[in-house]
């Protein structure tokens, strides 16, 4: 009979105590795996807020600030880009596509984004995933509006719903004369798009046009007909998303924009700036990691305590083995194998438990926060955590092993017991 | 190996025993030996050092002075690990409460000492063959081999304990109060079985007991007394 069989049979005989210990360790490890998987998912989700966009164009400002107002809709642009400059940049042969973004208005607390229909094609998030519509389609008419998933859910908007855009961000001045109609509702992305209201860039220009002279000339007081034949080309835009033809030319285009002579402009690499921005959470991440490792150490100490506690109960069993020929090293090996087997089984249980929890919570995470927690991601997070746990497990087994070894050397025999 | 060594299963010189944690305890055991096929009774009241003496003969407890030869080998000359393996190979042990491991079945309990006889487990299957043969000789039905020892009767457990003590074909069997919990009839049956098996297997027998009523069955009696004296009866 091998020592491993002996360990298995011994553990099996103490299955209740062993199962409870294993469950306690597995629960702690599963908790760590779930937290780590969700954290990594959230991080990836944040870093992939925008993908496929090579450069973000804005008026001269700091990188993080430009990213914050153009993509996250936090804060305001200090300056806009004139339409002429925008066109000059757009004419660059190295640029494959450019999509303007015009900010400044809001609807019931949600930012209104003036853009072109190409936005829905070129704004990618995650692993180059395109925006998709849960219902309806992108705007076609001047007063059509597309709403993000969170906006549609919070305000109970469906295709066909009417809404009014307010001037400014916290203004009570509403463009009552131009009611918009929802033409499409986007699927959740877990990005600021969910909390945005999209209109055409011409609509932004239209609602800011002084319509009094127009109303004098026509009986139609509102609607698209009012602007028939009118040039609604914007005077300026807040920012623009740029895709270049060759990745090799990104820095060249960035340099050209930064040196644009007619207006102080900035072009930033969204991925780099996102990573910079994410550094803000570094302290929190470090704190979280310390807590996670502390939980691992606590789990191992729990296992060690359980093994030491069972040693006194198994004193006679070990003494019998010692008397019939087992060396102190055999006894030590038995306890160490028990610790490693317990750790391995706990780790496997933790992986299963974590995957069950993530499977159950994944739809909620995707629905509310827009990021999916895949089993492969859980496996990736789990593997590194469990590898670390398994490296430390022999150390946790060391205390009971040394205790058992010393007891064996002390020659406590089964005789007369 | 000399004729004397061949005849002796175990011999010991004057042994001086003490326990570190019991400074008051000190015993001197006079030299002695047990021949192959010989049966010796070790008697003495509680606290006279019977268990300590057995531990010394096993090589687990090293005496302050003296030596123990088993099959011609001074066991205290062996390194610790070799001495443990030597014990597994040459000494069969029967305990007062039989001390079978409850989580192993009958066959595994019998074969357990084989695991410790060598550094690596022997997978030849010879051990299992010998275990089955011993069970047959001891009258243990075949179907009991796969059963948990907890389900066996006391009588069957005694036979399993004897089989485990004999599995490595030892030179010597040490039994510590094996009949203490038995009534007279069962005690005699157990001793009959033990004597006959040790005779068949040419194994020396040393039984520690406080029951002097069984002394007549032994060719040799060692009496340990509290005054640190000893008497070897012929």
CB distance from B84 to chain A under 8 Å?
yes
Contact list in B for residue A320 (CB cut-off 8 A) is 95, 99, 101
Place of tokens 């993530």: A358
Residues 6+ apart with CB under 8 A from B84: A325, A326, A327, A328, A330, B59, B116
Flag whether residue B93 sits within 8 Å of chain A, measured between CB atoms.
yes
User: What is residue B230's predicted lDDT score, i.e. its pLDDT?
Assistant: 44
pLDDT higher than threshold 80 for residue B4: no
Interchain contact, B116 vs A326, CB within 8 Å: yes
> What is the least distance, in Å, from the CA of A312 to any CA of chain B?
16
Whole-number pLDDT of residue A191: 86
Q: Are the beta carbons of A414 and B99 separated by less than 8 Å?
A: yes
| Rounded CA separation A406/A318 (Å) | 12
pLDDT at A372: 67
Substitution target in B57, B81, B89, B112 with the highest count of A β-carbons within 10 Å is B112
Reported confidence tier of residue A120, pLDDT bands at 50, 70, 90: very high
Residue B14: pLDDT band (50, 70, 90) is confident
Partner residue facing A323 (CB), from B80, B93, B121: B93
Q: Say which DSSP state A82 is in.
A: E
Q: Would you say residue A22 has pLDDT above 50? A: yes
Confidence of residue A326 (pLDDT cuts 50, 70, 90): confident
**Chain B CB within 8 Å of residue A15 CB:** no
Spell out which residues of chain A touch residue B93, defining contact as CB-CB under 8 Å.
323-324, 414
**pLDDT reported for residue B228:** 47
CB contact under 8 A, B113 and A6: no
* The predicted structure's pLDDT at residue B232: 44
At B120 the pLDDT is 65
What does the pLDDT read at residue B121? 62
User: How far apart (Å, rounded) are the C-alpha atoms in residues A41 and A372?
Assistant: 7
Q: Are B149 and B111 in contact (CB under 8 A)?
A: no
**Dihedral sign (CA B78, B81, B82, B84):** positive
What pLDDT sits at residue B25? 65
Q: Residue B53 has what pLDDT?
A: 87
Model confidence at B183, in pLDDT bands (50, 70, 90)? confident
Alpha-carbon distances, residue B220 vs A51, A291, A360, B162, B174 (angstroms): 93, 69, 75, 21, 14
Instruction: Spell out which residues of chain B touch residue A310, defining contact as CB-CB under 8 Å.
Output: none
What percentage of chain B exceeds 70 in pLDDT?
A: 87
Chain A residues with CB inside 8 Å of B103's CB?
A: 9-10, 12-13
Is the confidence at residue B161, as pLDDT, over 60?
Answer: yes
Residue B225 dihedral angles phi and psi, to the nearest 5°: -120, 160
> What percentage of chain A has pLDDT greater than the value 90?
27
What's the rounded Cα separation, in Å, for the pair A11 and B203?
Answer: 35
Its pTM surpasses 0.95: no
Examine the predicted complex and report whether its ipTM is higher than 0.90: no
- Most confident range (mean pLDDT) of A29-33, A232-236, A313-317 is A29-33
Rg value, chain A, Cα: 32
Q: Report pLDDT for A146.
A: 94
What average pLDDT score do residues A25-50 get? 85
Q: Which of A300, A347, A334, A349 is nearest to A403 (CA)?
A: A334
Report the share of chain A in percent with pLDDT over 70: 89
- pLDDT value of residue B20: 60
Higher pLDDT, A289 or A244: A244
Share the mean pLDDT of chain A. 84
* Confidence check: pLDDT of A307 > 70: yes
pLDDT computed for residue A100 by the predictor: 94
Number of residues that make up chain B:
234
User: Is it the case that residue A250 has pLDDT exceeding 90?
Assistant: yes
Q: Quote the tokens at residue A40.
A: 């990594």
- Residues A41-78: tens digit of each pLDDT: 888 878 878 888 999 999 998 899 999 989 988 888 88
Integer Cα distance of A369 and A362 in angstroms: 10
- Count of Cβ atoms closer than 10 Å to residue A250 Cβ: 17
List pLDDT tens digits, range B20-78: 655 566 778 888 888 887 889 998 887 778 888 888 888 888 888 899 999 888 999 99
Of B85, B176, B177, the CB nearest to A325: B85
- pLDDT of res. B29: 85
| pLDDT tops 90 at residue A242 | yes
- Please report residues of A whose CB lies closer than 8 A to that of B53: none
The distance from CA A46 to its chain's CA centroid, rounded to whole angstroms, is 5
What pLDDT, on a 0 to 100 scale, did the predictor assign at position A251? 94
Q: Does the CB of A12 have a partner CB in chain B at under 8 Å?
A: yes
Average pLDDT over residues A264-270: 93
**A350: confidence class by pLDDT, cuts 50, 70, 90:** very high
pLDDT per residue as tens digits for the range B92-125: 988 877 788 888 999 999 998 888 877 666 666 6
Is residue A390 within 8 Å of residue A37, measured between CB atoms? no
Determine the pLDDT at residue A171.
52
Predicted confidence band of residue A216 (pLDDT cuts 50, 70, 90):
low
Q: At A315, list the tokens.
A: 């004193």
- Most B CBs within 10 A among A7, A407, A415, hence the mutation to make, goes to A415
Q: Is A321 on the interface with B (CB under 8 A)?
A: yes
Of residues B227 and A192, which shows the higher confidence score?
A192
SS3 A124: strand
Cβ contacts below 8 Å, chain A against chain B, sum to 92
Q: Is the pLDDT of residue A145 over 80?
A: yes
Buried b (16+ CB within 10 A) or exposed e, B27-65: bbbeebbbbbebbbbbbbeeebbbbbbbbbbbbbbebee
CB B174, CB B58: distance < 8 Å: yes
Strand B230-233 with B73-74, pairing: unpaired
């Amino acid at each position: 009979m091998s020592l491993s069989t002996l360990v298995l049979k011994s553990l099996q005989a103490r299955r209740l105590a062993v199962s409870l210990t294993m469950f306690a360790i597995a629960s702690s490890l599963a908790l760590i795996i779930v937290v780590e998987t969700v954290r990594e998912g959230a991080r990836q989700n944040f870093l992939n807020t925008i993908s496929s966009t090579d450069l973000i164009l804005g008026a001269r400002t700091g990188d993080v600030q430009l990213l914050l107002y153009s993509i996250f809709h936090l804060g305001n642009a200090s300056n806009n880009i004139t339409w002429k400059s925008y066109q000059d940049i757009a004419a660059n042969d190295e640029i494959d596509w450019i999509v303007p973004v015009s900010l400044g208005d809001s609807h019931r607390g949600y930012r209104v984004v003036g853009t072109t229909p190409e936005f829905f094609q070129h704004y990618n998030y995650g692993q180059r995933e395109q925006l998709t519509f849960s219902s309806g389609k992108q705007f076609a008419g001047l007063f059509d509006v597309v709403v993000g998933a969170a906006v549609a859910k919070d305000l109970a908007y469906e295709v066909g719903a009417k809404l009014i855009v307010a001037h400014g961000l916290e203004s009570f001045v509403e463009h009552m004369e131009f009611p918009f109609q929802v033409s499409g509702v986007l699927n959740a992305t877990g990005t600021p798009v969910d909390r945005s209201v999209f209109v055409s860039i011409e609509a932004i220009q239209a609602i800011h046009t002084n319509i009094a002279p127009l109303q004098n000339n026509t009986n139609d007081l509102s609607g698209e007909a009012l602007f028939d034949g009118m040039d609604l080309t914007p005077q300026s835009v807040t920012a623009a998303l740029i895709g270049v033809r060759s990745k090799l030319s990104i820095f060249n285009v960035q340099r050209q924009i930064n040196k644009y002579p007619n207006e102080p402009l900035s072009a930033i690499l969204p991925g780099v700036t996102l990573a910079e921005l994410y550094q803000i959470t570094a302290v929190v991440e470090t704190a979280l990691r310390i807590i996670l490792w502390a939980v691992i150490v606590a789990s191992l100490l729990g296992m060690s305590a359980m093994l030491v506690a069972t040693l006194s109960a198994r004193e006679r069993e070990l003494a019998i083995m010692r008397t019939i020929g087992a060396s102190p090293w055999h006894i030590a090996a038995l306890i160490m194998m028990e610790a490693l087997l317990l750790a391995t089984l706990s780790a496997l249980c933790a992986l299963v438990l974590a995957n069950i929890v993530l499977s159950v919570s994944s739809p909620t995470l995707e629905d509310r926060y827009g990021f999916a927690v895949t089993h492969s991601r859980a496996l990736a997070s789990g593997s590194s955590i469990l590898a670390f746990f398994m490296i430390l497990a022999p150390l946790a087994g060391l205390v009971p092993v040394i205790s058992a070894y010393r007891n064996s050397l002390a020659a406590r025999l089964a005789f007369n017991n | 190996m000399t004729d004397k060594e061949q005849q002796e299963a175990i011999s010991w010189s004057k042994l001086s025993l003490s326990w570190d944690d019991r400074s008051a305890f000190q015993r001197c055991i006079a030299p002695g030996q047990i021949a192959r096929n010989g049966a010796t009774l070790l008697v003495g009241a509680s606290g006279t050092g019977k268990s300590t003496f057995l531990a010394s003969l096993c090589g687990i407890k090293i005496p302050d002075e003296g030596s123990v030869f088993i099959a011609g080998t001074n066991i205290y000359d062996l390194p610790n690990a070799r001495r443990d393996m030597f014990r597994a190979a040459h000494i069969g042990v029967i305990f007062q409460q039989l001390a079978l491991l409850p989580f192993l079945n009958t066959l595994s309990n019998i074969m357990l000492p084989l695991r410790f006889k060598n550094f690596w487990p022997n997978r030849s299957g010879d051990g299992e063959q010998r275990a089955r043969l011993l069970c047959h000789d001891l009258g243990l039905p075949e179907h009991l081999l796969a059963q948990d020892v907890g389900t066996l009767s006391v009588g069957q457990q005694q036979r399993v304990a004897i089989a485990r003590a004999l599995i490595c074909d030892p030179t010597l069997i040490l039994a510590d109060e094996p009949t203490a919990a038995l009534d007279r009839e069962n005690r005699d049956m157990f001793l009959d079985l033990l004597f006959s098996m040790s005779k068949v297997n040419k194994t020396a027998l040393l039984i520690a007991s406080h029951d002097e009523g069984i002394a007549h069955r032994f060719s040799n009696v060692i009496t340990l007394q509290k005054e640190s004296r000893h008497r070897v009866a012929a």
